[in-house]
Amino acid sequence: MPRTLSEVVFVDGVRTPFGKAGDKGIYAQTRADDLVIKCIRELLRRQPGLDPAKVEEVAIAATTQIGDQGLTLGRVAALLAGLPKSTPGYSIDRMCAGAMTAVTNTASGIAFGAYDIAIAGGVEHMGRHPMGEGVDPNPRIIAEKLVDPSALVMGETAENLHDRFPQLTKERCDAFAVGSQDKLAAAYADGKIQPDLVPVATRHAEKGWGLATADEPPRPGTTVEDLAQLKTPFRPHGRVTAGNAAGLNDGATACLLASERAATDLGLPVGMRLVTYAFVGVEPEVMGIGPVPATEKALDHAGLDISDIGLFELNEAFAVQVLAFLDHFGIADDDPRVNPYGGAIATGHPLASSGVRLMTQLSREFAEHPEVRYGLTAMCIGIGMGGAVIWENPHHPDYVSSVSEGAA
């Protein structure tokens, strides 16, 4: 039987406001699964013409798959969000790139023709489930010197990246971090972040009821002088601080993906079209370099050059990791194409959820910049990996729908 492959489009994405992990955070006593359920319900609410029964797969990522982040979360969240019992679901773990992998996995299923519509996302409640909770690393990893012990501590891998690229100074990282805070504050002031956010009702035994409507981690007004005073917890006289790295956060994301034909037939909006993606492995001791070879591989797949990319959404796990990417590709530290709304240093990085935040923001930026044809979402991944996804802007004058081509 002949098989027809489908183009895949990103319809819409949402997220909860991101909170600070810990007893004082906004989600301290809110369940992780409830956060992602809220996102799924919001996606369905925003597309009232979409019959929930047409959602044929739900993939939800979590790095620490335990407790309220366990139990085949994609399936359980789908049921609790009100999707039919006929809708399957599953969980994913690729550490920080969990939601990114949820997108590429389900997109591959759509492209293959296994189904037409899927929901992908991620959640991380780092206050309730710190990264690494309950894990038992095989002692061979260290005993047989497969990796340096620093590979298992993400902050130490960032210090290793500083060692490898001494031009990536603490001063440059602090300046980049301040830029992230300033850009996020400007985006909030311009109303560019709020459309992505799903308000979440919270309850705390001591604080009572609340409503999360904005990100908790940002520190607007931060200066390089402020950051220069911070401690370097991963190494004496080091360069990585709480100010030039993403914090420990709670939050969830979800997005709606569809074949381009299904989106057209159902009248769903098209935020962007998937071009290609790539995941690679790198030395675990310098996991932050991962987005570089991942991007090179994706560009090669697409037949594109870095100069073809007009917008970049790079996850800011650590400033040094983003700067390593920018240096490699000859991009200035303050290039306005990079993270126009700010990044994880300001917004927060609830591990497995962050990939869809990058994509949702890129989709919004595409609508603002019809002159940009291609954009990139990329991130480093723990234990030595990188991921990159290239997208095409449907608002660009050279964009041609695969559906209209078929009709022609």
Which pLDDT score, from 0 to 100, does residue 404 have? 67
Residues in the chain: 408
Which pLDDT score, from 0 to 100, does residue 408 have? 32
Query: In 67-90, which positions are buried (b, 16+ CB within 10 angstroms) versus exposed (e)?
Result: bbbbeebbbbbbeebebeeebbbb
Active-site option among 96, 125, 129, 255:
96
340-357 per-position pLDDT tens digit = 999 999 999 999 999 999
Which pLDDT score, from 0 to 100, does residue 321 have? 97
Active-site option among 125, 129, 162, 349:
349
Which pLDDT score, from 0 to 100, does residue 160 have? 97
Residue type, 388: A
* CA-based nearest residue to 398, from 373, 374, 365: 373
Q: Cα angle at 132 between 129 and 135, to 5 degrees?
A: 110
- What does residue 387 show for φ and ψ, rounded to 5 degrees? -135, 145
Residue type, 393: N
Active-site option among 39, 173, 255, 380:
380
First to last CA, the chain: 24
Alpha-carbon distance of 51 to 76, in angstroms, equals: 19
Which pLDDT score, from 0 to 100, does residue 350 have? 98
Stretches where the chain sits below pLDDT 50 are 406-408
The answer to whether 349 is a known catalytic residue is yes
Q: Which CATH superfamily is domain 8-127+139-398 in?
A: Thiolase/Chalcone synthase (3.40.47.10)
The answer to whether 395 is a known catalytic residue is no
* CA-based nearest residue to 74, from 102, 41, 38, 105: 102
**Given phi > 0 = left and psi -120 to 50 = alpha, else beta, which region is 30?**
beta
Per-residue three-class SS string for the chain = CCCCCCCEEEEEEEECCCEECCCCCCCCCCCHHHHHHHHHHHHHHHCCCCCHHHCCCEEEECCCCCHHHCCCHHHHHHHHCCCCCCCCEEEECECECHHHHHHHHHHHHHHHCCCCEEEEEEEEECCCCCCCCCCCCCCHHHHCCCCCHHHHCHHHHHHHHHHHCCCCCHHHHHHHHHHHHHHHHHHHHCCCCHHHECCEEEEECCCEEEEECCCCCCCCCCCHHHHHCCCCCCCCCCCCCCCCECCCEEEEEEEEEEEHHHHHHHCCCCCEEEEEEEEEECCHHHHHHCHHHHHHHHHHHHCCCHHHEEEEEECCCEHHHHHHHHHHCCCCCCCCCECCCCCHHHHCCCHHHHHHHHHHHHHHHHHHCCCCCEEEEEEEECCCEEEEEEEECCCCCCCCCHHHHHHC
191-242 per-position pLDDT tens digit = 999 999 999 999 988 888 999 999 999 999 999 999 999 999 999 999 999 9
